[in-house]
Amino acid sequence: MNTNAPLKELVPVTARGEATRRKLLSSAEIEFGSKGFPAASVSSITQRADVGQGTFYLYFHSKEEVFATLVRTLGAELCKSIEALSTEAAAGKDGERRVATLLLEFAAVDIGRHRILSESQFVDAPVFREVHEKLFAAVAKVLSVGARGIAGGDTLLRAAALVGACASAALQHGQWAGKPVGKPLVDAVIGAV
């Protein structure tokens, strides 16, 4: 018996089951976002979702699995928002500025979500990498159609630099100093990368 084989994903078969799964994910987002992975528990997630602890295991095998699912979900939502900007950038808008603004606001305003994505590097490094590679690709796509597009692999490197600069600047400027995201911050980040 291979104990390292991946577990089969638990998929709800009814609309009610899907609603319960979404409720568990929403509760997990609040728990992980406010407490961090180590302090959150299956018990606290199920209490917040107002379901029995046994119900959790109908949808997820473990706390690690619900966390990884949440990281992928949040990453996909962020990528979708960024990908929408690539269409706007193609229509003549400043894509790089819009991406920087979106990333800065995500890290400065959606603090719990930002914490979850950041913490995933310590909880599940392969999922962290998977989500960030998709994020870098989405940002690179916007940069490639924007006014400051760069050819080849350099666009992906610039995308990674922009994501990192936005995360750090949002921590210092937004989360820690409590200042709003505005044009001066966006200009500073774009100028730095």
Q: Is the pLDDT of residue 153 over 70?
A: no
State mean pLDDT over 127-149: 86
User: In the numeric block, which tokens belong to residue 19?
Assistant: 């609603």
The C-alpha angle with vertex 38 and arms to 59 and 134, in degrees rounded to 5, equals: 65
User: Do 39 and 109 belong to one domain?
Assistant: no
User: Do 132 and 43 belong to one domain?
Assistant: no
User: Do 87 and 154 belong to one domain?
Assistant: yes
Cβ proximity of 193 and 161 under 8 Å: yes
Q: Is the pLDDT of residue 140 over 50?
A: yes
User: Do 54 and 97 belong to one domain?
Assistant: no
User: Do 35 and 126 belong to one domain?
Assistant: no
Label residue 6 by pLDDT band (50, 70, 90).
low
**What pLDDT score does 9 carry?**
75
Q: What is the mean pLDDT of the chain?
A: 89
Supply the range of the domain harboring residue 45: 7-61
Q: What is the DSSP letter of 1?
A: -
How many separate helices (H) and strands (E) can be counted in the chain? 9, 0
**Domain CATH for 108:** 1.10.357
Label residue 145 by pLDDT band (50, 70, 90).
confident
Residue with tokens 């302090």: 39
User: Do 75 and 26 belong to one domain?
Assistant: no
User: Do 112 and 157 belong to one domain?
Assistant: yes
Label residue 4 by pLDDT band (50, 70, 90).
very low
State mean pLDDT over 61-89: 92
Classify 110 as helix, strand or coil. coil
57-70 pLDDT, tens digit per residue, is 999 999 999 999 99
What DSSP string describes 119-153?
Answer: HHHHH-HHHHHHHHHHHHHHHHHHHHHSTT---TT
User: Do 150 and 86 belong to one domain?
Assistant: yes
The C-alpha angle with vertex 58 and arms to 78 and 26, in degrees rounded to 5, equals: 30
User: Do 74 and 165 belong to one domain?
Assistant: yes
State mean pLDDT over 119-132: 97
**What pLDDT score does 87 carry?**
75
User: Do 50 and 74 belong to one domain?
Assistant: no
